[in-house]
Structure 1
Amino acid sequence: MLGFIMKRIFTMVIMILLVSTMIFFLFRTMPGDPTAFIVDPSIPKEARDQLLERYGLNDSLWKQYTIFLKDLVRLDFGNSFFYGRPVTVIIKDLIPATLILMFTAMLFAYIIGILGGAWMAWKRGTKLESFGITISLIFRSAPSFWVGLMMILIFAVRLKWFPGQGMRTSGYTGETFREIFLTLDFLKHLILPSIVAGLYFVATPLLIMRNSMLEVLSEDYIEMAHAKGLKESKILYRHAARNALLPVITAGALFIGSAMGGLVLIEYVFSWPGLGREIQRAVVRHDYPLAQGAFIIIASLVMFMNLVADVLYVILDPRISYK
């Protein structure tokens, strides 16, 4: 087990290095001038050259790459071109909002997915099962930005039930974590984006739970529970669903990583001040350090959660072994 984990960690480090290299060269080959969003285009050429020298953009591509790798080993992503602040500080300020939105959406998706998947497996072959699968796949295939815009139009503009933009009401200030995130105003702003993200993610746990339940329902102990005359709800959720949760739980580890990337458009539509919205802004501004740092953090999280999923398989199901 320890050997397997060490091997996977080594592979993960190599993959992070490869992904970081791809991201570095991708941004450097994009058309556009990274200084265009920092300085007025009308300034003298000498001033612009000084700015390029300050950020090392006038060095050769390979020299920039060498410096990038040295800084990456120290987890130093440099300073943002646009903000002039260390990228690590900016990411540290933004990531709590993204994580809260992600875990709220995951909680919503998993509660609906587990209960709904178990219920659909129990109702296999009926119109209710077909309806549930169809609805979940519609939300999965529909563009998340379009669903978000429709939610804003209906519940924020027309009905005025929830705010449709931002994380707090304009003018509200807070300094501590409690003042920022543990308020009724924040919760009201969290509802719409978390529901949109949850509807987009719900198909994954729902279909995994349904397929796992179909296998469990054919087991002998389920037939025995029927023979004992137990209530259907007790058989469904206490006996069948509990034993069908393993694939759903382990898939949750992978789900966390992919959910980070899936929130980019949702954060942009709802003007949610998180890491996803800032990635979009950094790409438009050609803010290489900030975009690189954010992408590397997300990629590392995805790979780490893959490792966690593999380890969970062994812990939760002793029948699985790695050689």
Structure 2
Amino acid sequence: MPYLIRRLLQMAFVLWAVATIVFLMFRLMPGDPSAAFIDPTFTVEQQQAVRAQFGLDRPLPQQYLIYLGNLLHGEFGLSFRQRQPVLGMVLEVLPNTLLLTLTALLIAYAFGTLLGALMAWKRGGRFEAISVPLVLTTRAAPEFWVGMVMLAIFAFGLGWLPSGGANVAGAQYASEWDRILSLDYLRHLALPALTLAIYLQGLPALLMRSSMLEVMREEFVTMARMKGLPERTIMLRHAARNALLPLVTAFALGFGQSVGGNVVVENVFSWPGLGRLLAEAIANSDYPLAQCAFLLIALVLVLMNFLADLLYGLLDPRVAHGRG
């Protein structure tokens, strides 16, 4: 319990720090934030009235206190451009980002884990000599380049999959679940998820390979070989199972990082997610919308870090005892 309380206090401090940095970042940037929604034909009185509507006519310390007070009450302000609550706009696109991230991570970690185990099993052979450079290449390749290649092949070349968006224009569904579970949505999800998975699979592959090589030097693996167990059984039931611990926590951390790191993929495929919304908000100087998106990303990151820490302690009791 003391550990949980300490971690919760740390999370609260991190969120406060992020909220403060986001507040100062947008207000100390060059330019007038009100220029995005004030027409040049407005009179001086009209311009002052609009600034007062958004609280931009008050001193910066007072704006900051109002800002913190609104956050504590769940108020994130109105969009400068669309004049509607930004929280609703962010929550509307959040499911698309979460589904894209989760799908890509499941593909990446399923393939990467298997590939990493095989590289460790075939260490020193031709398979490892080919696989390691290939994994490093996909990890280093820019996401926008991979996305453009995928579009050129599967969308424009073969015509198998749509090139962008989340649904066919004008499509209507009875509910949000019907839309997400529709074949049309899954077809639109395929290319961005596969592109993101190609980039993400390098981490689990290399992490699994490294973890497997360490586990294979343990005494219980040597004992299994002395008992005459088949090599495949030793690798799958003994070595691989014990090597999965770092990947469980890496998955949780990767989920939090990917939620905020999908900006490139979402823009390449015009995927209506949080990353694309954030990029548009920054381009349009829509500071309330950008602030809300940043804070939500920070919240997901903090929660997933907390979950990864708890999972590691549950899976490895030695860590949990060390915290006491």
- 1:106 paired with 2:109, answer no
The residue identity in structure 1 corresponding to 2:201 is V
Structure 2 distance, partners of 1:50, 1:279, is: 27
Does the 8 Å contact 2:27/2:33 carry over to 1?
A: no
Q: TM-score, normalised by structure 2?
A: 0.95
Q: Structure 2 CA distance, aligned partners of 1:37 and 1:165? A: 28
Aligned 1:287-298 pairs, distance under 5 A: 287-298=286-297
1:9 Cα deviation from its structure 2 partner: 0.8
Structure 1 residue aligned with 2:246: 247
Distance, in Å, in 2 between the alignment partners of 1:233 and 1:166 is 44
The answer as to 2:161 corresponding to 1:167 is: no
CA distance in 2, matches of 1:196, 1:263: 11
* Pair 1:49-2:51 in alignment: no
The alignment status of 1:314 with 2:313, answered yes or no, reads yes
RMSD of aligned alpha carbons: 1.5
Q: CA deviation at 1:201?
A: 1.1
Report deviation, 1:285: 1.2
Select between 278-287 and 174-183 the one with higher mean Cα deviation.
Answer: 174-183
Deviation per CA, 1:36-77: give whole Å up to 9, x if none: 443433333332222111111121111111110111112221
> Residues 175, 33 of structure 1: CA spacing in aligned structure 2 closer, same or farther, 3 A cutoff?
farther
Deviation by residue 1:251-302 (Cα, 9 ceiling, x = unmatched): 2221111111221111111111011100001111111111111111111211
Which residue does 2:213 correspond to in 1? 214
In the other structure, the counterpart of 1:116 is 115
2 CA distance for matches of 1:12 and 1:164? Answer: 39
Residues in 2 aligned to 1:212 and 1:194: alpha-carbon distance in whole angstroms: 26
Q: Measure, in 2, the Cα distance between the counterparts of 1:132 and 1:175.
A: 46
Residue aligning to 1:32: 31
Does the residue aligned with 1:236 lie in a helix, a strand or coil? helix
- In the TM superposition, what are the counterparts of 1:67-216 in structure 2 within 5 Å? 67-216=66-215
Question: Which residue of the partner structure matches residue 3 of structure 1?
Answer: 2
Q: What is the rounded CA distance, in whole Å, between the counterparts of 2:32 and 2:161 in structure 1?
A: 40
8 Å contact kept, 1:34–1:285: no
Quote the Cα distance in structure 2 between the aligned partners of 1:13 and 1:37.
32
Aligned twin of 1:23: 22
* Native 8 Å contact 1:168 1:186 kept in 2: yes
Q: TM-score, structure 1 length as denominator?
A: 0.95
- Tell me whether 190-199 or 200-209 shows the greater mean CA deviation: 200-209
Question: What code does the residue aligned with 1:201 have?
Answer: L
User: In 1, Cα distance between the equivalents of 2:38 and 2:107?
Assistant: 44
Unaligned segments of structure 1, at least 5 residues: none
What corresponds to 2:225 in structure 1?
226
CA distance in 2, matches of 1:253, 1:5: 18
| One-letter amino acid of the structure 2 residue matched with residue 152 of structure 1 | L
Q: Contact conserved, 2:101 with 2:259, CA < 8 A, in 1?
A: yes
SS at match of 2:123: coil
* Amino-acid identity (%): 44
Q: Which amino acid aligns with 1:238?
A: R
1:175 deviates by 4.7
CA deviation map 1:142-189 (0-9, x unaligned):
221121112112211111111111001122122512221000001100
Matching of residue 278 in structure 1 with residue 293 in structure 2: no
Q: Which amino acid aligns with 1:282?
A: A
Counterpart AA for 1:109:
A
> Match for 1:26: what amino acid?
M
In structure 1, C-alpha distance between the alignment counterparts of 2:54 and 2:115, rounded to whole Å = 53
For structure 2, the residue ranges without an aligned partner over 5 or more in a row are none
Residues of 1 paired with 2:70 and 2:130: CA distance? 52
Is this contact kept in 2: 1:33–1:286, CA < 8 A? no
What secondary structure is seen at the aligned counterpart in 2 of 1:319?
A: helix
2:298 aligned partner: 299
Paired residue secondary structure (2:33)? coil
Across the two proteins, how many residue pairs are aligned to each other?
A: 322
**SS at the partner of 2:40?**
coil
Q: Which residue of 2 aligns with 1:61?
A: 60
Deviations 1:85-117 (A, max 9, x none): 112211211100000000000101110111111
